[in-house]
């Protein structure tokens, strides 16, 4: 494939190994690319690049260059400032309402802005240049400002629950409030080609939203040209609830009410049956699979997961990190490992499947595959450069294998989002990381004091 050599460029990177993730999945050596503004304008060889009059030339020797990674489910508020407070061996059946939500509600608007900024920085330092939020933001404007300060591409949404579990609650009012949150968010942060941040209808999911909220979310998303996201079926409790109260499994029911589609992403989707797998396939609905969270949360993923069956049916599966950390390469290696383990066979998934899940598959789920997810002329310059002069990378034999099975953010040298460099030499160019760390520690202490939860561990603590 050849491209017209541009006369000028804002910057040119030369001498690198490019893992393009284009349609041919080309891996190019001694390769170069040119960027002007937000866009990749040319890809070719290093000798050819010498002819381009560039404002800046970047030496890409000893670098493996990839598209920016896409994380399709991450909690940027609630968890980042309080993660690991909940004991990891806790079997409290009501832990969501006992241990999780009190921490979330203890955040002030300023806490959520700090949390969003800090988590976005962590995402960037791990190679994520685009993320889809989990929908647990209570103060959307403040969280959006934190994301904006970080300079990352994001799809965010406010906390949406519309079901009345208490008979004294007015469910009609709850539904109206939930729909208003979604409508207001999408209106305030419309999706455009220029803006890095846009709002989606993002529901907590599980059994927290009645049909009217699901249907409204899909309608709002369709009208605005955006997507919908929600949690569903990490545990058997979700299908059990739907079978008891609706008479159908959740994904079958959601298909029946018109709530699924290729602009819908369902997170976890562990406890499915084949009827639900087929519902995903028929509707084009995407799965955001969080491998580490599924293991830490004991979802029984390696016993009951139908991810290989879903992949065989053509379901678009992406990888995500959830609320524990932001290391998307870890999610990729664990994810394809579980795909193998589910069958007792090493052949169902390989490293390219893992890389697809955090690049082009993620872009497709977000409806952005025309803009991001691969290194191609005309796409946004969301680009990563890994330093192979690092113990994770040597001996350098097979770059894609090494990326998935050996590398992580520790060897990530540079990150660009829409052509703007955000990380250089592993450090943010636009943020005071040390000051931010101090702010986070102070805020975390205050949040946990307000939440009033006991600190419990399986070993003696002061």
Distance CA 208, CA 224 (A): 24
- Ordered strands of the 286-289 beta sheet: 202-205, 228-232, 264-268, 286-289, 317-319
- Asked if the peptide bond before residue 216 counts as cis, ω within 30 degrees of 0, the response is no
**92 is written with which tokens?**
């409290």
Residues 6+ apart with CB under 8 A from 347: 340
My answer on whether 120 and 54 are in the same domain is no
What tens digit of pLDDT does each residue of 46-59 get?
A: 999 999 999 999 99
459: confidence class by pLDDT, cuts 50, 70, 90? confident
My answer on whether 103 and 195 are in the same domain is yes
- Asked if the peptide bond before residue 73 counts as cis, ω within 30 degrees of 0, the response is no
The confidence score (pLDDT) of residue 444 equals: 95
Q: What angle do CA 164, 113, 320 make, to 5 degrees?
A: 70
Residue 437 inside a domain? The answer is: no
455: confidence class by pLDDT, cuts 50, 70, 90? confident
The confidence score (pLDDT) of residue 457 equals: 81
| Least confident among 188-202, 248-262, 292-306, 384-398 | 292-306
User: Higher pLDDT residue, 135 or 91?
Assistant: 135
Residue 441 inside a domain? The answer is: no
My answer on whether 245 and 107 are in the same domain is yes
The confidence score (pLDDT) of residue 92 equals: 60
pLDDT(67) > 90? yes
How far, in Å, are 23, 37, 42, 152, 210 from residue 33 at the CA level?
17, 13, 5, 21, 49
Rounded to an integer, what is the distance from CA 232 to the centroid of its chain?
Answer: 16
Q: Which helix (H) or strand (E) holds 352?
A: helix 351-357
Coil, strand or helix: which one is 270? coil
Measured between alpha carbons, how far apart are the two ends of the chain, in Å? 64
- Average pLDDT on 428-440 reads 97
My answer on whether 131 and 13 are in the same domain is no
The confidence score (pLDDT) of residue 458 equals: 78
Cross-strand pairs, 132: 155
Domain count, the chain: 2
Residue 283 inside a domain? The answer is: yes
Dihedral over alpha carbons 442, 444, 445, 449 (to 10 degrees): 140
**344 is written with which tokens?**
């007792």
Contact 162, 400 (CB under 8 A): no
Residue 446 inside a domain? The answer is: no
My answer on whether 202 and 279 are in the same domain is yes
CATH code of the domain in which 335 resides: 3.20.20.140
Residue 460 inside a domain? The answer is: no
pLDDT(1) > 70? no
Distance CA 444, CA 281 (A): 42
Q: Residue holding tokens 């599980």?
A: 206
Cross-strand pairs, 199: 156
Distance CA 264, CA 273 (A): 19
Residues 6+ apart with CB under 8 A from 421: 414, 415, 429
Q: Which helix (H) or strand (E) holds 70?
A: strand 69-74
**379 is written with which tokens?**
């796409």
The confidence score (pLDDT) of residue 13 equals: 98
My answer on whether 194 and 328 are in the same domain is yes
Q: Residue holding tokens 């660009």?
A: 416
Residues 6+ apart with CB under 8 A from 379: 39, 40, 370, 371, 372, 373
pLDDT(462) > 70? no
Which of 98, 88, 93 shows the shortest CA–CA distance to 454? 98
What tens digit of pLDDT does each residue of 11-27 get?
A: 999 999 999 999 999 99
My answer on whether 186 and 217 are in the same domain is yes
CATH code of the domain in which 39 resides: 2.30.40.10
2: confidence class by pLDDT, cuts 50, 70, 90? low
My answer on whether 81 and 34 are in the same domain is no
My answer on whether 105 and 194 are in the same domain is yes
How far, in Å, are 121, 179, 204, 420 from residue 433 at the CA level?
9, 37, 31, 18
Residues 6+ apart with CB under 8 A from 245: 207
Residues 6+ apart with CB under 8 A from 199: 140, 144, 155, 156, 157, 158, 185, 186, 188, 189, 190, 226
433: confidence class by pLDDT, cuts 50, 70, 90? very high
Contact 406, 400 (CB under 8 A): no
Coil, strand or helix: which one is 124? helix
My answer on whether 293 and 320 are in the same domain is yes
User: Helix/strand/coil (H, E, C) string of 300-352?
Assistant: CHHHHCCHHHHHHCCCCEEECCECCCCCHHHHHHHHHHHHHHHHCCCCCCCHH
Contact 213, 179 (CB under 8 A): yes
pLDDT(403) > 80? yes
How far, in Å, are 157, 223, 346, 461 from residue 125 at the CA level?
23, 35, 31, 32
My answer on whether 331 and 394 are in the same domain is no
Domain boundary residue among 342, 365, 388?
365
Residue 443 inside a domain? The answer is: no
pLDDT(96) > 90? no
Rounded to an integer, what is the distance from CA 370 to the centroid of its chain?
Answer: 18
In terms of Cβ atoms closer than 10 Å to its own Cβ (0-12, 13-18, 19+), residue 74 is: buried
Residue 357 inside a domain? The answer is: yes
My answer on whether 203 and 329 are in the same domain is yes
- Mean model confidence pLDDT for the chain: 95
410: confidence class by pLDDT, cuts 50, 70, 90? very high
The confidence score (pLDDT) of residue 93 equals: 59
Rg of the chain over all Cα atoms, to the nearest angstrom: 22
Domain boundary residue among 345, 365, 385?
365
Residue 421 inside a domain? The answer is: yes
In terms of Cβ atoms closer than 10 Å to its own Cβ (0-12, 13-18, 19+), residue 53 is: exposed
Domain interval for residue 399: 8-67+375-428
């Amino acid at each position: 494939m050849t491209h017209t050599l541009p006369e000028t460029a804002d910057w040119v990177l030369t001498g690198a190994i490019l893992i393009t993730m284009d349609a041919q999945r080309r891996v190019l050596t001694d390769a170069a690319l040119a960027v002007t503004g937000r866009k990749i304008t040319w890809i070719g060889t290093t000798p050819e690049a010498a002819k381009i009059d560039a404002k800046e030339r970047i030496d890409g020797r000893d670098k493996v260059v990839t598209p920016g990674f896409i994380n399709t489910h991450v909690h940027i508020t609630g968890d980042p400032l309080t993660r690991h407070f909940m004991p990891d061996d806790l079997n409290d059946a009501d832990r969501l309402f006992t241990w999780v939500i009190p921490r979330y509600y203890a955040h002030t608007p300023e806490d959520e802005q700090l949390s969003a900024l800090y988590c976005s920085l962590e995402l960037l330092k791990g190679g994520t240049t685009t993320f889809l939020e989990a929908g647990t933001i209570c103060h959307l404007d403040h969280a959006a400002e934190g994301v904006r300060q970080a300079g990352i591409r994001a799809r965010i949404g406010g906390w949406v629950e519309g079901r009345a579990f208490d008979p004294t609650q007015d469910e009609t009012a709850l539904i109206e409030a939930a729909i208003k949150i979604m409508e207001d968010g999408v209106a305030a942060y419309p999706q455009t080609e220029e803006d890095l941040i846009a709002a989606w209808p993002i529901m907590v999911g599980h059994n927290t939203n009645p049909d009217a909220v699901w249907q409204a979310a899909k309608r709002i998303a369709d009208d605005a040209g955006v997507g919908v996201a929600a949690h569903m079926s990490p545990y058997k409790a979700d299908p059990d609830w739907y079978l008891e109260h609706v008479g159908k499994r959740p994904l079958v029911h959601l298909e029946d009410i018109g709530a699924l589609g290729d602009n819908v992403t369902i997170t976890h989707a562990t406890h499915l049956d084949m009827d639900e797998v087929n519902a995903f396939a028929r509707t084009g609905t995407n799965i955001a699979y969080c491998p580490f969270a599924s293991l830490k949360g004991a979802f029984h993923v390696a016993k009951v997961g139908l991810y290989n069956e879903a992949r065989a049916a053509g379901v678009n599966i992406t990888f995500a990190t959830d609320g524990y950390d932001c290391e998307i390469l870890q999610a990729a290696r664990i994810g394809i490992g579980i795909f193998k383990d589910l069958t007792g066979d090493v052949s169902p998934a390989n490293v390219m499947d893992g890389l697809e899940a955090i690049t082009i598959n993620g872009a497709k789920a977000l409806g952005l595959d025309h803009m991001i997810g691969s290194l191609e002329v005309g796409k946004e310059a969301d680009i990563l450069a890994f330093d192979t002069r690092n113990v994770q990378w040597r001996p350098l034999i097979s770059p894609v294998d090494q990326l998935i099975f050996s590398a992580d953010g520790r060897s990530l040298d540079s990150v660009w989002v829409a052509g703007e460099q955000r990380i250089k030499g592993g450090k943010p160019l636009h943020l005071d990381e040390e000051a931010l760390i101090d702010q986070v520690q102070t805020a975390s202490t205050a949040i946990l004091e307000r939440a009033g939860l006991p600190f419990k561990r399986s070993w003696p603590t002061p």
